[in-house]
Amino acid sequence: MKEMVSRWILVVLAASAAGVVARAQEPLDPRIAAYDKGPATIDVSKYPADMQAGYKVFVTRCSKCHTIARPINCDFVLDDEWERYVKRMMRKPGSDVSPADGKQIFEFLSYDSKLRKKALYERKQKEAAKP
């Protein structure tokens, strides 16, 4: 009986591990893959000191789970988009993004989008204002 239970546990563990490996090998959405291929740095030398500090937190924390190019090149620009994104990333296991870090990352991404992605930001603002 013990041997049968042990074998059953091994089968369940092996199946679980196989599922994790299979999910890890699933191809990325082509849109996300395209973001990953874009530039992976931002020149923040002319940004205010607090935004430069936010950039460092962003790079340190966010690079643990995905490329930095992904958020840099994505089409998020509005505050509510960044808020949802950062909160979702904070909930990921192992992200180690504290509420203080999350706030700093959000503030940096929001600030940066309004400068680097100005045309997209303005277009989305107009679209959001339409009745």
For residue 20, the model assigns a pLDDT of 39
Determine the average pLDDT of the residues in 29-54.
96
Rg (CA), the chain: 20
Residue 40 CB neighbour total at 10 angstroms? 14
For residue 17, the model assigns a pLDDT of 44
Categorize the per-residue pLDDT at 28 as very low, low, confident or very high, splitting at 50, 70 and 90.
confident
- CB-CB contact of 68 with 40 (8 Å): yes
In terms of residue numbers, what domain contains 49? 38-129
Q: Is the pTM of this model over 0.75?
A: yes
DSSP-assigned letter for residue 28:
P
pLDDT tens track for 73-113 = 999 999 999 999 999 999 999 899 999 999 999 999 999 99
The total of structural domains in the chain comes to 2
Does the pLDDT value for residue 44 go beyond 60? Answer: yes
- Torsional class of 87: left (φ above 0), alpha (ψ -120 to 50), beta (otherwise): alpha
* Domain match, 21 and 81 both: no
* Domain match, 91 and 67 both: yes
* Domain match, 52 and 4 both: no
* Domain match, 13 and 50 both: no
Tokens 């789970």, residue located:
65
